[in-house]
Amino acid sequence: MPEFLIDPNLLYIGLLAGLWIGVTAAYIPGTWIPETISFILLGASIVFMTFLPTNWVALLVLVLGVAAFLILPFAGKRYRQFAEVGLLGQALGSYFLFKDGLSISPILIGITLILAVAYNRLVLLPILKRQKDHNEYDESTQVLGVRGRVVKALDPVGTVYVNKELWRARSDDYLPKDSKIIVTGRNGLELYVEKAKHEDAPDYEHEQQSNGIQNGSSQK
């Protein structure tokens, strides 16, 4: 077997590349390309590591350290610092990865740690932010342009009936009860509306009565 295939530093680079590509796959799921590359790199690295005096406990610590970054797509940005604590596991696992005099270059370990921090902050976290902004935009556009009716007068804040739901709403103009409105924006659970013209809007009270009749009929 060619010696370069079982060079500790080379195997270490392949192992880390596989782990971090696997982490990236959790941030951009659906393509299967990074997952496949990660699987190949990890599988090949571990197979070749069996030919060396590998400390498998240290390998587990290293893997768990990198895996801490898998928390972010599911738990959110507020756990960023906790995830980066996982780099201690990467550092310790890297240092003790091999036995019997074999070791990873400390310089290489330091470089990979710096690259990991930079990759997290410059690549992974921006991906999360773009996904969050995209999701919030999708939610906000679901009611944009939808017509409704004022249930509680807006002066400037009140309640409107839109998409078969009651919403807190705000308007630049005073809008009395039963005014027909159209949604022009959204901020969280509050809608921005203005007076609609020339088209019918949902009748809140009529629909409530209809639902009551339907509910009563279903109970019978």
Domain containing residue 195: CATH number:
2.40.50.140
Residues 76 and 103 in one domain: yes
Count how many residues are written for the chain: 220
Can you state the percent helix, strand and coil of the chain, rounding each to 5? 60, 15, 25
pLDDT tens digits, 47-71: 999 999 999 999 999 999 998 888 7
pLDDT tens digits, 157-193: 999 999 888 899 999 999 999 999 999 988 878 899 9
The per-residue pLDDT for 206 is 58
Torsion angle defined by CA atoms of residues 84, 86, 90 and 96, in that order, rounded to the nearest 10 degrees:
140
Q: Alpha-carbon distance 103 to 83, whole Å?
A: 26
Residues 29 and 97 in one domain: yes
The per-residue pLDDT for 169 is 93
pLDDT tens digits, 2-59: 565 679 999 999 999 999 999 988 887 666 888 899 999 999 999 999 999 999 999 9
Tokens of 101: 């005099």
Of 82, 110, 140, the last residue of a domain is 140
Residues 18 and 111 in one domain: yes
Which residues form the domain of 167?
147-210
Question: Does the predicted TM-score (pTM) go above 0.75?
Answer: no
Residues 49 and 13 in one domain: yes
**Number of domains into which the chain is organized:** 2
Residues 37 and 134 in one domain: yes
Q: Classify each residue of 51-63 as buried b or exposed e, where b means 16 or more C-beta atoms within 10 Å of its C-beta.
A: ebebbeebbebbb
Query: Are 166 and 154 in contact, with CB atoms under 8 Å apart?
Result: no
Tokens of 69: 């970054």
